[in-house]
Amino acid sequence: MPRLPDAAARHPLVFPDGTAHRQMVNLAVAIDHPNWRIGRNAYANDFDPPADWAARLAPYLYPGAPETLTIGAFCQIAHGARFITASANHPMDGISTYPFPVFDPEALPFYRDSFTGLPDNEIGPDCWIGHGALILPGARLGPGVIVGAGAVVSGEVPAYAVVAGDPARVIRSRFSEAEIETVLDLAWWDWPDDRLAAAIPHLAARDIAALAREKPA
């Protein structure tokens, strides 16, 4: 039976000679940050692996910020992808966008309304974020979305859409509406390991009916 990658390993990809691929990490193992929510087996790859993966991927998301970044289970994040979270924004309600409170906390009361109700970023399970993609504040990607290399993504992206470009637009849907509804109902990313391992051949194919037969009772 096929086996799942080790969700507890920092480097889940191991080459045939036994050495770990250190450019790839399980995000849930590599990141300990109060504003991140990370599903199992979500990974990122970087040709220049950083010491701080949270800062590399979401450089404006500081601990205690009012927004969160959710990365769903089994997401795949390519080199150069970045998540620009809402705290990156400057105040835009007044005449100037200059961030005075960054330099003088006593000025914060004048800008407090600009830093409340900031939107979260939510990446659904099994999304593939391509090389150099930029995910903007408040973006919400449904399950199974593919983001093309260099795309600039904002707003809501429907489940199983393929998006590309700047600004990103939907190029096509990966499945029919009925198929999407079925796969979302199956929610395979939540299955226990033994059932999920058995389903790997079906996940690699396009036989949704075969996948459905593996669904846990």
C-alpha distances out from residue 183 to 111, 125, 193, Å: 44, 12, 18
Percent over 70 (pLDDT), the chain: 98
What is the average per-residue pLDDT within 52-80?
Answer: 96
What values do phi and psi take at 186, rounded to 5?
A: -70, -35
Catalytic residue among 21, 79, 90, 202: 90
Confidence at residue 118, expressed as pLDDT on a 0 to 100 scale = 85
14-34 confidence digits (pLDDT tens): 999 999 999 999 999 999 999
Tell me whether residue 33 is one of the annotated catalytic residues: no
What is the average per-residue pLDDT within 76-86?
Answer: 97
Residue 115 pLDDT greater than 90, yes or no: no
What is the residue-averaged pLDDT of the chain? 94
Q: What is the Cα gyration radius of the chain? A: 19
85-110 confidence digits (pLDDT tens): 998 988 888 888 888 877 888 877 77
Question: What domains can be seen in the chain, in order of their start residue?
Answer: 24-174 (2.160.10.10), 175-217 (no CATH)
Pairwise CA distance, residues 10 & 25, whole Å: 5
